[in-house]
Structure 1
């Protein structure tokens, strides 16, 4: 059974959609409602939300911002966007961020139910075990890499400047055979480990190619149409993706590009593991301007992937999270531990100073520490044993308990002081945390 979160700043719409879904007969366990993005983030961090249905314009935090934050917290969360605006730009960005549908208000009941039904059925799709998967791929797919000439050229571009490479010939073939205009480019590389599943057989080389083909199909499903990219085989068990933006696309500041790339990386890892049954490591480069930097981007993703040796339980790495310039040579294990401890220590200090701030997000804590939300969240949990946002809630609840027991402040005043937008939402979080309401604790 599934949990659904409905977010709209109009309470009547939230109640109407919740009532419609409650009587739909769909396989739904709980329906939560929130009236702004910050309330929604608390539910996403505290509950097992499977489907997010969100309005796109909600004051302090838009539905687009909420989607970005949701995908950082739980990359597998499915999203349906509802909007009073039939604006192509909004729809395009929502789909690019992974929305499964974009519905225009006033909402047609049957249309919404069909959309929700489709999303839940897609989530129900069972994963084949690896032997069944390979058998299915053998039956339906050729082993050859799609567009092998393009793959050859792209791999040559990644190695441009190395001994034996003719840059003039590569330049001519690049212009004739592939559309790589940029000028802003980034790379995502997926390093596959076909034998990492609990029941995985030893995969033969010919079957490894079939599995790579299946990975390319997952990449295509996640990125096609909404992302300007090239995906291709590189090295023995890698799939590489070159993402590009033109000047107009890169200049659009409505979404943080690095966060989007990390969202892609986490979604790729999740879907490959879920549907193909083996692990992978994803490396993400910085964004550089100019095709001549493709070899540098390739070097960055390879270096990012290397960090999996230090963090075996983490699978998505952004090159910019690691302070390569801080070390004259390859960092020692002691250097890495010291660097990671410093990141967590600074995050601790920032959270203690700002936990009562309204609208505090994981993204903000990460930005203040010059590290990605994905890596900060992982490090914080690894070093402290506590989820970062659970730690924020703990500080808020302990402070609210102190204020209830030692002051005459009213509920709405305490709610304000510990960072919540509404007293009602504060009371829900308080009761979930302590098991009793604020008024019961006061007595």
Structure 2
């Protein structure tokens, strides 16, 4: 479920999916009136006023005095104005208008609107009680202020039908709003869970990168120790050999510093064993990875334009290897039988570009689900290396993973 599929899932709704118009949230402060609220309130005010005018004409036809008609009109106008408070106090307003409408038929329109609002904003039990009171009040009104154009029974039946119609309509609106709130909550929870999963995947990817960088850093420091020890135990070595050893120490220290910068802020997970002896892939081992995939039955085309893969920085080459490995794994899982293209290009100063693409999957392979955690880890790895990674579907319904990584000159 996404926000584009459900346009009512606005950012404000996603931050708190509850609806203050529904029961259970009445203690929450209501937001300020929107333009839609003003339009709706004005519309129901006009509807109540029109119904009140029709009832006033019926009162004039019944032969009531001008004073009674004038008093009815004043009370009816006050009842219509009271509708502006129908959202804040729908229960009290409905009960008040039931009592008023018994002796003032002009307030009947405002009563119907208040019953509708009550059914929208309150649960069934209080609505049923107030509805029964309204039906009783309608019968009392037919007896106290009868309509000259209708019999007592017709007046009671008409009032009963109108009350049931407005209450039923209000309950229908309430049910729809509750459905919308439920969908909002579901989408909000799904988005929160997705964010938590993404954060966890990033944390795990950082821990994996920290472990891998630890292995590389241990290797660099071991080389430094070996060459420094050789200089210590052979102080009489020829100057050329001393200079060569010093150059190796300098280069190893520089590369170790570069690797160390990549893992600043990345913590190693506690309890992991030492993996210093674990072999590390490089750009030079990319051919072996492709050959292994071909032996597994995949159709892979490798376009490696790097003339000297061993000259690439170890960390960069390893990242390229991991990206190609993940791309081949995804292609084997989601698009088996298709031909995968792996292209690597670049050089010192220009950076390294790796591109793994496959055409549209065949048959039912397109329906194989995927979590996307591997691509999240690759994105994190490329970002920490100072590069970038992009992935997504192509125009021919295939899939492409493309990354750029720095290669200092």
Q: TM-score range by the shorter chain?
A: under 0.3
Instruction: Give the TM-score normalised by the residue count of structure 1.
Output: 0.19
Name the structure with the higher helix share. 2
- Give the structure with higher Rg (CA): 2
